[in-house]
Amino acid sequence: MRKNVAGQKSRASLDVPVPAQSDSTNATAIISLYSALIGLGLPAVVFGHIALDQMRTSSERGRSLAEAGLLFGYIEAIVTVAVLVNAFGIPGF
DSSP-derived letter for residue 17 is P
- Total domains in the chain come to 1
- Are 49 and 83 a contacting pair, CB within 8 Å? no
> Is residue 5 in a domain?
no
Q: For residue 25, which phi and psi values (nearest 5 degrees)?
A: -100, 140
Q: What is the pLDDT of residue 29?
A: 94
> Is residue 8 in a domain?
no
> Is residue 56 in a domain?
yes
Q: What is the pLDDT of residue 88?
A: 82
> Is residue 9 in a domain?
no
Chain segment 27-57, per-residue pLDDT in tens: 999 999 999 999 888 999 999 999 999 999 8
> Is residue 57 in a domain?
yes
Structural domain range at position 54? 24-88
> Is residue 54 in a domain?
yes
> Is residue 38 in a domain?
yes
What region does 7 belong to: left with phi over 0, alpha with psi -120 to 50, or beta? Answer: left
Chain segment 15-26, per-residue pLDDT in tens: 666 555 557 889
